[in-house]
Amino acid sequence: MKIKKGDKVIVRTGKDAGKEGVISQVLRDAGKVVIDGINTRKHFVKAGSGNQGGIIEKSAPMHVSNVAILDPKTNKATRVGYSVDNNGKKTRVTKSSGSTLA
């Protein structure tokens, strides 16, 4: 999986298509990502000792194929590849503009 926590992505499909966000969690085994403020679900919390109950909005995981990384130069969706420099260090590179990702 070429997507990491902290990457800025755009949602390609679903009810939140076109929205942008930052990845807060990557679930590698399930092939899913959690994006802050995207794909929200209502979670009902029961009042307990010391905490107040109510309805909270949580971001649910979505499949990694439904998102694309935003290119830092053009601010458009792009694919990601790898580049190896002379020292043998592997870096992520955008396919459209060739700029490196953190």
Do 6 and 102 meet the contact criterion of CB atoms below 8 Å apart? yes
In a domain, 58, yes or no: yes
pTM here? 0.82
Question: pLDDT tens digits for 1-60?
Answer: 899 999 999 999 999 999 999 999 999 999 999 999 999 999 999 999 888 899 999 999
pLDDT given at position 95: 93
Q: What is the pLDDT of residue 20?
A: 96
pLDDT in tens, 59-95: 999 999 999 999 999 999 999 999 998 999 999 999 9
- State the Cα angle at 36 between 34 and 40, rounded to 5°: 80
Provide the residue range defining the domain that includes 64. Answer: 8-94
> CATH code at 27?
2.30.30.30
Does any domain span residue 13? Answer: yes
In a domain, 3, yes or no: no
Tokens representing residue 24 in the block: 């807060």
Is residue 101, in this structure, part of any structural domain at all?
no
How many Å apart are CA 8 and CA 79, to the nearest integer?
Answer: 13
Overall domain count for the chain? 1
Sign of CA dihedral 59, 62, 67, 72: positive
The two beta strands, 54-59 and 40-45, are antiparallel
Is 100 a domain residue? no
